[in-house]
Amino acid sequence: MLLIEPAYELLDCGAGRKLERFGPWVLDRPAPGADGAQTQPDLWESVSARYTGSRTTEGSWKPAIKKWPKASVEFPVTLTEGKQFRMLLSPLPSGQIGVFPEQLGNWQWIARQAAKPQAAKVLNLFGYTGGSTLTAAVAGAEVTHVDAAKSMVARARENAELSGLAEAPIRWIVEDAVKFCQREVKRGNTYDAVILDPPSYGHGPKGEGWSIKRDLLPLLNLCKELTESRPKFVLLTCHTPSIGPAELSAYLSDGLFGHCGQPPKSGTLYLKTSSGRKLASGDFAHWPG
């Protein structure tokens, strides 16, 4: 299985918040899926920092980022067979810190799929700080990493350097995902696999608007062309509350395979406390199942 060292741990959740340990940090952050009561109130009293405000609007860390004793932490992610990469974690104004722990199971799946000899060229759209990109690269794939935020692509490249992957076959692209795919279709370029983690709403580097309900299916149609309707694997994840596993599976089926194809596997991404309490943290659909 995948392990993060220093250890990640979901300590508690409830009342719309989650309490997590990332190595030396204990963080209190918003979590829309955290229903019910917080079960260990004492743990919430002594934290490294709290983020107040929605994750999708302006908020702030308390204490302020400049007052943190450690402004960043190197976070090794160990894959099976001794393969590893590193991610630099640091508090961002959005309330994120550079990694989504709920994606660990997906990284394991990507590593398994990308290690297959025939899955050589991987397109990672909305690549953020590069967890999926580095997973595929460590497994031996050639990767094109696309994100609209220049700062996130810079962080992903820094993570690649930390991981000894500065010379790996990774293309780093700062561009709107839809525009990039449209241009790739016109260029006649193709890929063996596609990874997508689209936001609910967003903007490209030139102000291009993105709405997942309006734009996801057309983007998947472009991915169908880019994989010539024969992808080796596809992974689609999202954190949009109104889109669940069944809807994601339907998007993937309609966009890439049609109704007669083998249905993708879908489900919910969870974080879990040591006591077994689960926190729903997004959904996934992937093919093959």
**Which CATH number covers residue 172?**
3.40.50.150
The pLDDT value given to residue 80: 73
What average pLDDT does range 242-267 have in this prediction? 87
Q: Is residue 25 part of a domain?
A: no
Percent composition of the chain: helix, strand, coil (DSSP 3-state, to 5) = 30, 30, 40
Total count of domains within the chain: 1
Residue 2: pLDDT band by 50, 70, 90 thresholds? Answer: very low
Rounded to two decimals, what is the model's pTM? 0.93
Residue 64 lies in a domain: no
Highest mean pLDDT, choosing among 50-59, 62-71, 108-117, 139-148: 139-148
Q: Which domain holds residue 192?
A: 100-287
Q: What is the pLDDT of residue 51?
A: 95
pLDDT, residue 3, reads 45
> Does the structure show a pLDDT above 90 at 270?
yes
Q: What percent of the chain has pLDDT over 70?
A: 94
CA distance 150 to 131: 16
- The sheet carrying 233-238 orders its strands as 170-174, 142-147, 121-125, 193-196, 233-238, 278-287, 265-272
Question: 221 or 73, which is more confident?
Answer: 221
CB atoms < 10 A from the CB of 233, how many? 21
Is 167 among the domain residues?
A: yes
Does residue 58 belong to any structural domain of this protein? no
pLDDT at position 141 is 95
Q: Is the pLDDT of residue 232 over 80?
A: yes
Residue 93's pLDDT band (cuts 50, 70, 90): confident
> Is residue 204, in this structure, part of any structural domain at all?
yes
Measured between alpha carbons, how far is 51 from 34 in angstroms, rounded to an integer?
A: 15
Is residue 243 in some structural domain? yes
Q: How confident is the model at residue 239 (pLDDT cuts 50, 70, 90)?
A: very high
Above 90 in pLDDT, residue 269? yes
